Amino acid sequence: MPTFHALHIHLQATQDASLPMTQGHLSHAAFLALIDAVRPELASELHDRKGRKPFTLSPVWGLPSAHKDKHKLRAGQQARLRLTLLDTALFQAFMQKLLAGPGQRIRLGQAEFLITEVRGTPEGSEWAGYTTAAELEQRASAESTRLALQFKSPTAIGMGRADSGKSKRETLPIPRYVWASLRGNWNQFGGREIPLGFEAWVETNVVTSRVDSWQTAVFRFRRGLQVGGYGHVSYDALDLAPTFLRWWNLLADFAFYSGVGYKTGMGMGTTRRIDERE
């Protein structure tokens, strides 16, 4: 069964530099460069692969406040980057690069960072961990009817195209769209397939019960702007069908590794299940 890893990478700037407000395309390129250094054929495959890729990246966390759309870094500035890997070969290649010797570095545009630490367990970071598809299936509850998700970075869910041909992106955490995204990710990278009928069950039986501080933000990519939403959202399932409840809970747990929605490999859609707020 597939194995999933979430790594919390600690960085230190090696020189004064600046970063744009949105670093997703830079982090994406930096990650592929790390893989290319040890497995060029795998990096090429990832670059050419259409659709969802088997990894996610967070925005760079811990940067100083931006000024004139730039983060100004000083040498020694600490930052963090979260990476999840949904493919065993990709995880092995990444670890091979890290173990190649001390002082591994990554470059994000003008800024060079030293990788000072990589945490891969929940004891080291609440955003780190590892599991298997089998473990997620085994612990998925068939009884829990309430759960909450934290959308840590701006999230937008693709919904095909309008009659005009323009892409549709939903920035509200509507239950069916959230779990449709997770179902698609699971069927591509997880274990046993969850049927399309599950989405109809979510549409009929799952409601948004609470929203805390939902906001939108703009990510600037090379090909334009993308708006996404972030915050804490609680959901209730109103039907007790055990099979569907188990899938619903399974996918909520899987969100920690797969993210939700569009451009998860460039900093969007970083998501995790959390304890519901009082």
Residue 130 is encoded by which pair of tokens? 């590892």
pLDDT of 161-171, one tens digit each? 888 888 888 99
Q: What is the CA radius of gyration of the chain?
A: 19
pLDDT of residue 167: 83
Which of these, 168, 173, 183, 180, lies nearest to 152 by C-alpha position? 173
pLDDT of residue 278: 42
Contacts of 123 (CB under 8 A, 6+ apart): none
Which residues on neighbouring strands pair with residue 236, listed in sequence order?
146, 207
CA distance 53 to 213: 30
Cβ atoms within 10 Å of 102's Cβ, excluding its own: 8
C-alpha distances in angstroms, 126 versus 31, 146, 200, 207?
22, 21, 33, 27
pLDDT of residue 277: 54
Residue 30 is encoded by which pair of tokens? 């930096």
Check: CATH 1.10.238.10 for 141-274?
Answer: no
pLDDT of 32-67, one tens digit each? 999 999 999 999 999 888 888 999 999 999 999 888
Break the chain into its structural domains and give their ranges: 3-119, 141-274
DSSP label at 264? G
Which of these, 233, 217, 214, lies nearest to 225 by C-alpha position? 217
Which residues on neighbouring strands pair with residue 85, listed in sequence order?
5, 55
CATH topology assigned to domain 3-119: Alpha-Beta Plaits (3.30.70)
Residue 166 is encoded by which pair of tokens? 């323009």
Residue 16 is encoded by which pair of tokens? 């004064």
CA distance 185 to 192: 12
Q: Same CATH topology for 3-119 and 141-274?
A: yes
pLDDT of residue 172: 95
**pTM (2 d.p.):** 0.95
- Mark the ranges of the chain whose per-residue pLDDT is less than 50: 278
Residue 227 is encoded by which pair of tokens? 């708006």
